[in-house]
Structure 1
Amino acid sequence: MLENASSPLPWFKALADATRLRLVRILSRHELSVGEIVAVLGMGQSRVSRHLGILVGCGLLASRREGAWTFYSAAAGGEQAALLAALAPWLAAAGPEADLTAVAAVLRERRQETRRFFNAIAPDWATLRREVLGDLDPGDLVRAVMPETVALAADLGCGPGELLPVLAERAAAVIGVDSSPSMLALAERRTAGLPVGVRMGELEHLPMADGEADFLVVCLTLHHLPDPAAALAEARRVLADAGRLVVIDFAAHEDEAMRRRFGDRWLGFSREKLSEWLDRAGFDLADWSEHPVNRGLVAARAVAVPRQPVRQGEPHERHAA
């Protein structure tokens, strides 16, 4: 039998190996870097890379190069994704439970590393941020799209609370969420006397109730997270149906030094990638603007609104971005 583009033979050949089944199983759940995969499987990098190459070559896995790092995940579309979805009940048992425990440990270490970094640099964070943003004031970007009156606004990943007083200008109540105790302590001092409360928590598991907020800001935070898509899904959960989400982050870039100096995990995001995640979370992208800053970087502001359910007999039209 000849192999061709429409033949499933290369897929089944690739899956006929215990290590590759383990890889597909864990990468169907999480996107991981090569180093993280090596840590999970407990194998040498050359051996892991060989198996990854086979799975990427037949399209069962996708690779994403970002600066000096390469990330791997299961195919998200096409016939290969359909095959993996059909095999999901069997793939769920295609490896030892220790693999999933190891993945959980890797993700936990990601979060702890980020928390340690921000606890350490909290006092200097405003200076470091100005080093990159220059004259750009994120507060101005938020004011330009914030309604005149808001019942409850929240800054997700609030850091030392620079945007909390801005939100308090128009919101009756404000919540700042961050995972760093040192950052939250600074935020509390900055907002003394204002209708602002802070809560400790991860953006992928927000300490907020469903539909609690009317206006959300995620400013220069997504690029630090292990799973930005999960954070956007959580933002949709806590945002009221008539609410608004503002995401300010770097457009995609190749400045690898940002990882070392600022603890960045992602080197920014393309409009297409952020739109994809927003769509998957249940948002429509209503506005997009770009603002040059220092180091040759560009800060992008995305404004998103919850997608409203389609009434019977009405076509589903998304906001033009």
Structure 2
Amino acid sequence: MEQVLARLRAAAEATRLRLLAICAECELTVSEITQIIGQSQPRVSRHLKLLCEAGLLVRFREGTWVFYRTPHSGPGADLVQPVLGLLPQDDETLALDRARLEQVKAEREKIAREYFRANAEDWDRIRALHVDEAVVENALLEAVGDLSGGRILDVGTGTGRILELLGREAEEGVGVDMSREMLAVARARLQRADLSNCLVRQADMYQLPYPGGMFDVVTLHQVLHFAERPDAALAEAARVLAPGGKLVIVDFAQHEHEELREQHAHRRLGFDDASLNEWFRNSSLEPDDVINLPGKPLTVRIWAARPVRDQSGSKETNKPEKAA
């Protein structure tokens, strides 16, 4: 009861209610929050600290930036949603906050568009070498299967397109990438798609910041050919895969187009089935059927694998708490 009272006391202040309302919409930096709320950074930071200590907000660092958002699960989330439901939608202060939040979202969209424009030529050149992306996405949906109530991790999420594609049916989706520029693009995409159940984080694919067995589906879409150690990246993805879950890899079949290595930083010129199957076995995974999507000149393949069952054949597991 004391913990509930502490959370209620933390929320029982006008500015902190405003902070909860905007941070329930999307994850925001301190500078974005001060822009929306119209208060000084020290004052906003003090309110944020109290809300985080009460478990009503979660914070995470991305380089030199710190983001805040309301939690998706746990006691804090159980209190935040009913409290926000009590706020009047026609309140003038909250309406002004929402209008300023839309300005922040619009600025994010502008940054994302500029980044796309700067890199569109390279991306278009690579896309022209293989089968249409819509064909790949349909095949990926088939490979992943039913996502109802599941948790997805997209490693090397890039623009966030795979989260957008898969996240609507999932309970929760997380995308990780090392590039802050790409994470900004992904955030803009997810907010545009109104996927509040999906989030992105800055993280190294060789050291994912999640406990083992956390995700029902892990995807690596056109990521492994950039990896210096693709087997290690695959092993780390397998580590966070829940028993009964599925790892899905989308990448190029082995090819000889050296210009992709020289001009686009591809470390590997595609992969063959034997290599993938060996890495699966080394990570205690059972290979599934391979989907082959021939193109001109590159062929896209979709490899899938599941954790090897124990001797009882059981798939039961107690999953960890959701990702922050």
2:129 corresponds to which of 123, 132, 138: 132
Structure 1 residues 69-102: Cα deviation after superposition (integer angstroms, max 9, x where no partner)? xxxxxxxxxxxxxxxxxxxxxxxxxxxxxxxxxx
Structure 1 residues 171-210: Cα deviation after superposition (integer angstroms, max 9, x where no partner)? 1111011111111110000001202110111111112221
Which sections of structure 1, spanning at least 5 residues, go unmatched? 1-118, 313-321
Q: 1:310, CA displacement in angstroms? A: 2.6
Structure 1 residues 4-61: Cα deviation after superposition (integer angstroms, max 9, x where no partner)? xxxxxxxxxxxxxxxxxxxxxxxxxxxxxxxxxxxxxxxxxxxxxxxxxxxxxxxxxx
2:224 aligned with 1:214: no
Q: Distance in 1 between matches of 2:263 and 2:215?
A: 33
1:285 corresponds to which of 274, 284, 287: 287
TM-score, normalised with respect to structure 1:
0.56
**Aligned-partner residue type, residue 144 of structure 2:** M
Q: Distance in 2 between matches of 1:197 and 1:235?
A: 18
**Aligned-partner residue type, residue 144 of structure 1:** E
Q: 1:150, CA displacement in angstroms? A: 3.8
Q: Distance in 2 between matches of 1:197 and 1:233?
A: 23
Secondary structure of 1:166 counterpart: helix
Q: 1:271, CA displacement in angstroms? A: 0.3
Runs of 4+ in 1 over 6 A off after TM superposition: 119-122
Residue 140 of structure 2: aligned partner: 142
User: Within 5 A, what are the aligned runs for 1:113-128?
Assistant: 123-124=119-120, 126-128=123-125
Secondary structure of 1:145 counterpart: helix
Structure 1 residues 88-117: Cα deviation after superposition (integer angstroms, max 9, x where no partner)? xxxxxxxxxxxxxxxxxxxxxxxxxxxxxx
**Aligned-partner residue type, residue 172 of structure 1:** E
Residue 73 of structure 1: aligned partner: none
Q: 1:141, CA displacement in angstroms? A: 1.8
Q: Distance in 1 between matches of 2:117 and 2:288?
A: 34
Secondary structure of 2:257 counterpart: coil
Secondary structure of 1:171 counterpart: coil
Which sections of structure 2, spanning at least 5 residues, go unmatched? 1-114, 314-324
2:237 aligned with 1:235: yes
Give the conservation status (yes or no) of the 8 Å contact 2:131–2:293.
no
Q: Distance in 1 between matches of 2:128 and 2:287?
A: 29
Residue 265 of structure 2: aligned partner: 263
Residue 177 of structure 1: aligned partner: 176
Give the conservation status (yes or no) of the 8 Å contact 2:254–2:272.
yes
Q: 1:145, CA displacement in angstroms? A: 2.1
**Aligned-partner residue type, residue 143 of structure 1:** L
2:186 aligned with 1:201: no
1:254 corresponds to which of 253, 256, 259: 256
In 2 relative to 1, CA 292–211 (structure 1 residues): closer, same or farther, beyond 3 Å?
Answer: same
Give the conservation status (yes or no) of the 8 Å contact 1:287–1:302.
yes
Give the conservation status (yes or no) of the 8 Å contact 1:288–1:300.
yes
Give the conservation status (yes or no) of the 8 Å contact 1:283–1:306.
yes
Q: 1:123, CA displacement in angstroms? A: 4.1
**Aligned-partner residue type, residue 248 of structure 1:** V
Give the conservation status (yes or no) of the 8 Å contact 1:247–1:303.
yes
RMSD value, Cα:
2.1
Bigger shift: residues 268-277 or 125-134: 125-134
Structure 1 residues 184-239: Cα deviation after superposition (integer angstroms, max 9, x where no partner)? 11000000120211011111111222111111111110010011111111111111
Q: Distance in 1 between matches of 2:161 and 2:293?
A: 19
Give the conservation status (yes or no) of the 8 Å contact 1:244–1:303.
yes
How many residue pairs end up in the alignment?
Answer: 193
Residue 158 of structure 1: aligned partner: 157
2:301 aligned with 1:304: no
Larger relative contact order (Cα-Cα within 8 Å, sequence gap ≥ 6): 2
Q: Distance in 2 between matches of 1:262 and 1:121?
A: 17
Q: Distance in 1 between matches of 2:223 and 2:118?
A: 14
Secondary structure of 1:297 counterpart: coil
Percent identity for Structure 1 against Structure 2 = 32
